[in-house]
Amino acid sequence: MAHTIIATDHAPAAIGPYSQALRAGSTTFFSGQIALDPASGELVGAGDVAAQTRRVMSNLIAVVEAAGHAVDDIVKCTIFLADMNDFKVVNALYAEALGGHRPARATVEVSRLPRDVRVEIDAIAVTS
């Protein structure tokens, strides 16, 4: 199956050998976003999970829109947390960013994330 690589300057460039997103058919797979400023590539909100979550959601939505999707096209997200004690804050800001949309989701605590961030979020979207 042919696929299309999605890239935008409105989200941080990939920091490894991967794409910001990849469309295969009507499904787009979005790589995990962390709290990097798209312009500078610098970490936003070091140690501040709320600031990091806002930046992560802004980055993720920028790539979703660059792929030609709306937030309502997101069908699945995975949230990776460095500390499950941050769940309440991250959950509230995630819900705020998605408005009334509620895709399927998994949330897991991991031992470490890139650049030692506190949160990373990836997604899958489908066009109808």
Q: Which pLDDT tens digits describe the chain residue by residue (128 residues)? A: 689 999 999 999 988 899 999 999 999 999 999 999 999 999 999 899 999 999 999 999 999 999 999 999 999 999 999 999 999 999 999 999 999 999 999 999 999 999 999 999 999 999 97
**What is the b/e burial string over 64-92, where b = at least 16 CB atoms within 10 angstroms of the residue's CB?**
bebbebebebbeebebbbbeeebbebbee
The domain ranges of the chain are 3-126
Fold of the domain spanning 3-126: 60s Ribosomal Protein L30; Chain: A; (3.30.1330)
Whole-prediction pTM? 0.96
